[in-house]
Amino acid sequence: MHLEELSMFILFGLNKQMQVTTGRYHTLLIRDSSVYSCGSSLCGVLGHGAETTQCVAFTRIRFPSLAYVIQVSASHNHAAFVLQSGEVFTCGDNSSFCCGHNDTNRPIFRPRLVEALKGVPCKQVAVGLNFTVFLTRQGQLYTCGTNTHGQLGHFDTQDRPTPKIIELLEGVVSVVQIAAGPSYVLAVTDNGVVYSFGSGSNLCLGHGEQHDEFRPRAIQTFRRKDIHVVHVSAGDEHAVALDSSGFVYSWGKGYCGALGHGDEIDKTLPALVNCLKSHLAVQVCARKRKTFVLVDGGSVYGFGWMGFGSLGFPDRGVSDKVMRPRVLDSLRARHVSQISTGLYHTVVVTNQGQMFGFGDNERAQLGHDTLRGCLQPTEIFVQETADDTGLASKGK
């Protein structure tokens, strides 16, 4: 697999008709350019209106006009959508102005166009806890929202109510992929360099220090070793990267074995996950003290904290630790093309267009009304006429 093919595989998945994104207690799915959501709709993050507080089945999100969605990002309480046109819509909690709408700090209950980016076509969005990062087709970054730790990249801690370009990178580098943790950002450039900025409290910035970075700073470990990174994933307390040779690197807090090195030792700098060297990794996914690695043949490796079963090993307890990468035997019969994990739940998409979920389902974030938890990957179905089905718990 060539570098360019690998990059496209990672960004969109082998199955280009389906993409899944897991938030804290919810899941969003792109299927044939339409978006569906399920789970808890706190502050309107599901995009179904103020009257909807939960969706117990995947329900189609209605946009103001015909919208062909190509990418979505979801965090705790807000979500962002990129359209084929390059326009960006957002919904959810806007109290920190993370949705990019300066005229209100109230929740945005249905997807709304980010007016400040009109004429600036985007190709990817990444949402953090209270901020949003926008990647343009020209490889530039815009950010808005809370800036307590410098996570907006503007060399200060001033909040921004609408998207503002990161001037330090403008005309200097071309960014090809972004990832947002709770309060930090990772950005990959076209020449394989990784920049990081924001909170350094969990060592997620990869500079060997714990102080905050108020502007993008290149991670020197990759540069010194001539490692060409093609994809990064920003977890809550650790980060993972994938290079052009299919090797995996991790750094940050080592709680529960989330770094995959067989121990719980923190890594202040990116370190190669040695036991995965014999595999060609094509996607990495990090979240709350756990990591997944998808390899070329469609198998998935998981390690870290089981977290209510969200690591996918039925033979392990719901709070166990898996210290080294281990293949998910329960998915061996499936060729997985994409994986996404939330706080306590995980969803995978196969190259046959099927979806399977495991972990916590207390808020129906796996799209099942009756199950409360799944230790075993369970197939998730999306109803063709899902526009008005699956709504529950209505109230102002």
Determine the residue type at 206.
G
Encode pLDDT of 38-66 as tens digits: 999 989 999 999 999 999 999 999 999 88
Supply the pTM of this predicted model.
0.94
Residue corresponding to tokens 């960006």? 88
Residue corresponding to tokens 């994409």? 338
Q: Environment class of residue 335 by beta-carbon count within 10 Å: exposed (0-12), middle (13-18) or buried (19+)?
A: middle
Q: Pick from 167-171, 247-251, 374-378 the range whose average pLDDT is largest.
A: 247-251
Q: Give the pLDDT confidence score for residue 16 in this predicted structure.
A: 58
Q: Give the pLDDT confidence score for residue 263 in this predicted structure.
A: 98
| Mean pLDDT score, 98-112 | 96
- 336 forms beta bridges with 350
- Three-state SS for 143-183 is EEECCCCCCCCCCCCCCEEEEEECCCCCCCCCEEEEEECCC
Q: Give the pLDDT confidence score for residue 10 in this predicted structure.
A: 52
Distance of CA 160 to the CA centre of its chain: 22
Backbone conformation region of residue 9, classed left if phi is above 0, alpha if psi is from -120 to 50, else beta: alpha
**How many angstroms separate the CA atoms of 154 and 168, rounded?**
8
Greater confidence (239 vs 385) lies with 239
Greater confidence (394 vs 145) lies with 145
Determine the residue type at 189.
T
Residue 95 pLDDT greater than 60, yes or no: yes
Closest CA to 79 of 101, 56, 108: 108
Encode pLDDT of 290-348 as tens digits: 999 999 999 999 999 999 999 999 999 998 999 999 999 999 999 999 999 999 999 99
Percent of the chain having pLDDT more than 70?
Answer: 93
**How many angstroms separate the CA atoms of 138 and 131, rounded?**
21
| Mean pLDDT score, 134-154 | 98
**How many angstroms separate the CA atoms of 84 and 70, rounded?**
6
Determine the residue type at 306.
M
Q: Are 194 and 205 spatial neighbours (Cβ–Cβ below 8 Å)? A: no
Q: How many CA atoms lie within 13 A of 326 on its CB side?
A: 21
Interacting residues of 214 by C-beta distance below 8 A, sequence separation 6+:
150, 153, 154, 155, 156, 157, 197
Q: Which of 140-149, 227-236, 292-301, 371-380 has the lowest mean pLDDT?
A: 371-380
Interacting residues of 254 by C-beta distance below 8 A, sequence separation 6+:
238, 261, 263, 264, 265, 266, 267
Domains of the chain: 3-394 (2.130.10.30)
- Average pLDDT over the chain reads 93
Q: pLDDT tier at 282 (50, 70, 90 boundaries)?
A: very high
Phi and psi torsions of 8, nearest 5°: -70, -40
Q: Give the pLDDT confidence score for residue 385 in this predicted structure.
A: 56
β-strands 52-60, 69-74: how paired?
Answer: unpaired
Residue 391 pLDDT greater than 90, yes or no: no
Percent of the chain having pLDDT more than 90?
Answer: 88
Rg (CA), the chain: 19
SS3 of residue 6 by DSSP = helix
- 73 forms beta bridges with 80
Q: Give the pLDDT confidence score for residue 1 in this predicted structure.
A: 47
Residue corresponding to tokens 């526009």? 387
